[in-house]
Amino acid sequence: RSRVDLNFDVAHVKFMDAPVAGGTVTLARAKGTQVPLPPVISIGVNWQINPAWAVEFVYDFTHWSEFEHLKARFSPALPALGASFPIAGFLIPENWKDTNTLRLASSYRLDMSWTLRAGMVLDESPIPGSTLSPTIPGADTLTFNAGIGYQWKNWKIDLGYAAIFYKNRSVSNDVLEANGASTLTPGRDKY
């Protein structure tokens, strides 16, 4: 699958001057915000062991390293003191890494009506500890899936369940203080 860029040049934001400056509300537009949906290479194998039982393995390589930063600029300026204060934009480094995802699944047909299904997924997080923040949180995941299907004539009913387990992460970094993204909470943050 090829890369697709999500552009948010029409995002509307609202700012308010400090009460001592009049408390005026300014409606602005965010510009230059782009998030890439990266290219993905997938390889899959399905093996029909016998007429009732099948297994499948899928490997995905996702080129997340294309997501280098999250940025935005804002216009117009705040109206305080004759609109002479531009609204500060931000540039938050992301520096994501490429990831691997492994999927293993199986289905077993009990008879002409009933089919059982199960699977698991190991999915790496692309977010390194040096740039993990509340902006876009993430962690490695392990997912277990199970399901049952019933077929009667031309009708099919399927019921499935997925349990997703996130790996615990403990990270300390100053990514939100970088490049003037925030001056309210200087220093290292813990997540």
> Rounded to whole angstroms, how far apart are CA atoms 100 and 157?
32
Distances (CA, A) of 157 to 67, 83, 146, 162: 40, 62, 14, 17
DSSP 67-128: --EEEEEEES-B-HHHH-BPPP-EEEE-----EEEEEEEEEEE-SSSEEEEEEEEEE-----
Phi/psi at 186 (5° precision)? -65, 150
Tally of CB atoms within 10 A around 14: 8
The mean predicted confidence, pLDDT, of the chain is: 86
Q: pTM score, two decimals?
A: 0.77
Of residues 147 and 81, more confidence is placed in: 147
- For residue range 114-169, what is the model confidence (pLDDT) as tens digits? 999 999 999 999 999 888 888 888 999 999 999 999 999 999 999 999 999 999 98
- The mean pLDDT value for 67-88 works out to 73
> Rounded to whole angstroms, how far apart are CA atoms 106 and 48?
10
Looking at the predicted structure, is the pLDDT value of residue 86 above 60?
yes
Structure letter (DSSP) for residue 19: G
- For residue range 2-51, what is the model confidence (pLDDT) as tens digits? 999 888 777 777 777 767 767 777 777 777 788 889 999 999 999 999 99
Dihedral sign for Cα 50, 55, 56, 57, please: negative
